[in-house]
Every structure is written in C-alpha cells, then in structure tokens.
Amino acid sequence: MPEVVLHDYWRSTASWRVRIALELAGIDWQSRPVDLLAGDQRAAAHLALNPQGLVPVLEIDGLRLSQSLAILDYLEETGRLSLRPKDAALAARMRAIAQAIACDLHPVCNLRVATHAAALTGQEETRADWMRHFIRPGLEAVEALLDENGPYCMGAALTQADLCLIPQLYNAARWGVDTGDLPRITRVARACAELDAFRRAAPEAMHPSETIRARAMPPAAQKAGPPMTNAAQEPRPLAPTTQSLPIALIRAREALLRELRPMLAEAGVSEPQWRILRVLLEGGPCSVQGLAEAACLQPASVSRILQSMVERALVQRVQDPENRRRQVITVTDTGRALVMRFTPASHAITDGFAERFGKDRYQSLIALLDAFISDCDSSATG
C-alpha cells in the first residue's frame, strides 16, 4: 500500500491541484475521500488531521500537510517537483497568477461560502448566481496575466500556475461560465489536457466509485478482468515478477544503460539530455510538448533539463518560423558536434548488443516492441 495518502474530495479544486502534482512527481499515492456534501470534513476524525476542517490533507514523510500551495512548495523543496521558475521575477509572476486563483478567486467560490449565501437569501438559485458573479471577472483578470505565447501559463514550462488554473476552469464549466472567448486560458487548457498527469487527477477519474484503490494503478489495470461477484472469492494470483513485462522492460533498460553510462559520463550529458539531442537532430526544431513526447519525458522535467542545456549552449530557443508567437527548441552547433563526436562510440555499443543477441533477433525485438506500443496506444484511444 502506498505510504503517501491524500485526504481529498473529488470535486475539490484545491485537492485537484495536489493530485496533479503527485502524478507529475510520479509518487505512489492513495486517495482517502472526504465527502464534503455529507459533512465528513467536520467529523472529529478529519478535524484531528486538519483543524480547519478543509481538504486536502497530505500524509507524507511522517507529516500531515494542509493548504494546497504549501503542499506544492513542500514537494518542490524536497526535490520531487520542479514547477517554480528559477528567475526571481518569473517566480513572482507565477505566484501572482497562482495566488490570484487560489487566494482571491477560489475562496469566494468555495462550496461552503456559496451555500451560506444561498442560506442567507433563502433561494437556491443564489448559489449559481454567486459563482458566476465571481468566476468570470476573476478569470478575465487571470487571462491578462498569462504569457502571450504559451503553451502554459508562464510560457514553455509547466508551473504551479497551471496546476491552479485547470481545476478552476472545471469549476467555471460546472457553473455555466463560458471561457471560450479567453484565448490564452483556452490555449493552456488545451495543452494541459494532453498531459496524462492532469487526466489521471481529474474529478472524473476520482469519482467516489473510482477512488477505493491506490492511484498508482495504471488505467489499463483498472479496466482489466470481470468484477468479482463473491466477496469471499480469492483473486487469481499475480504472475511471478520474472514473468512481469513492466519489470522485464525495466531490467532490460538498466542492462542497456549500464553500457551506455560510461560514454554519457565522458560526454558530460545525462541520459535524458542525450535523448533530447538525438530527437532534435533527427526531427529538427520542436516544441517542449513535442520534445517531451518524442523523448519519453515529462514536460515538467523537459523544461528543467532544457534550462541546463541552454546554459551549456547545447540547445537554444528560437522563434517558430510557422508561428512567430511561439518558441521552439533547436540543437546548436555545439550540441551537434557533441553528438557527432560520440556517435562512433554509440554505434559500437549498440552493435555489440546486436552481435551478442543476434542481429535478426535484435531487429525482431525492436519490431515486436513497436507493434506492442502501437496496439497499446490503439486500445487507449479506441
């Protein structure tokens, strides 16, 4: 069972921010739902966790943390995330956006506040009117604060601001607030919708019928097999770890990297940096999102990795010739020269794999893995 536990409510925007962060960080965690409509947050058991009677509460590292922005900072400062700009001015801008949502807009649109407003008037329709009265002007102000080019709130890199904005947009849609005429917000929403971490943390994935499980379980596993009809029925035993495909792939990757690491150390680059250089040389200039997908990296990680690579002049950010409002990443002459210098060593390593394993088997293995990935992708989208 995961050691990290999040006490949350599926529709809570503050909880959603933290769920996204946990997914981005790749943390194995479990949801323990607190039913706000049933008043569970006021029960003694929950008040012992958080005297404010609010969600979320995160149990991690032997601590009980409350307040979503404080939790995001804790994950950042313990090295689990990199969602704050290093530049002081950019960090201040990012906090302004995050706090405009989390500290100004969200509190007045909290469920308990709207419920109290409806109780004061004695009219249930006051709840929706209240929400719409505050949400639209608040989001119009946020729109003006966002980066012009994107794709995210602060530009090319995902930040805490994005984790605050997306849940608030869900709340806007829920109360009938149209945001389609806000182009920057719409652009951020579209970009974040492509990220698995945001999808896995969404309210639809956290509905009470779905939350009695550890969030580390992959979507495919959640759908696999018929439901058990007898509570006493024993589940089919797990296959031995020696027969587990995910574990076998991890072991194979480690076997490959053991031979690649000395070359990478001599080149002075990490394995993700080497992947990024190869993708750029092979495919040309690329957006951060496209680079993340092609190099099999998290967008938040790519942004952090690129910062170091830009400082070393291995890559550079340039204007997209097809859309001058957007930046793309391209490899520099220095980066190209580095890859060319170590290409013979890379060939020697991969040729050695093929010789030992058998060239035909080696090519068949790659073809089988490509086919397997294609089938998995088709199942996920079909």
**Rounded-to-integer distance, Cα 124 and Cα 134, Å:** 17
CATH number of 245-381: 1.10.10.10
Domain with CATH 1.10.10.10 in the chain: 245-381
The secondary structure of residue 238, as a DSSP letter, is: P
Residue 113 vs residues 29, 54, 136, 209, 301: alpha-carbon distances, Å:
30, 13, 17, 27, 37
Q: Judge if pTM exceeds 0.75.
A: no
Residue 36 vs residues 8, 111, 183: alpha-carbon distances, Å:
9, 9, 33
Q: Is 176 left (phi over 0), alpha (psi -120 to 50) or beta?
A: left
pLDDT in tens, 274-285: 999 999 999 999
Range 1-214 classified under CATH 1.20.1050.10: yes
Closest CA to 287 of 196, 373, 194, 380: 194
pLDDT at 2: 66
Low-confidence residues of the chain: pLDDT under 50: 210-233, 381-382
pLDDT in tens, 249-304: 888 888 888 888 899 889 998 888 999 999 999 999 988 888 888 888 876 677 77
Per the prediction, the chain carries an average pLDDT of: 86
**Rounded-to-integer distance, Cα 181 and Cα 229, Å:** 49
340's tokens: 């060319």
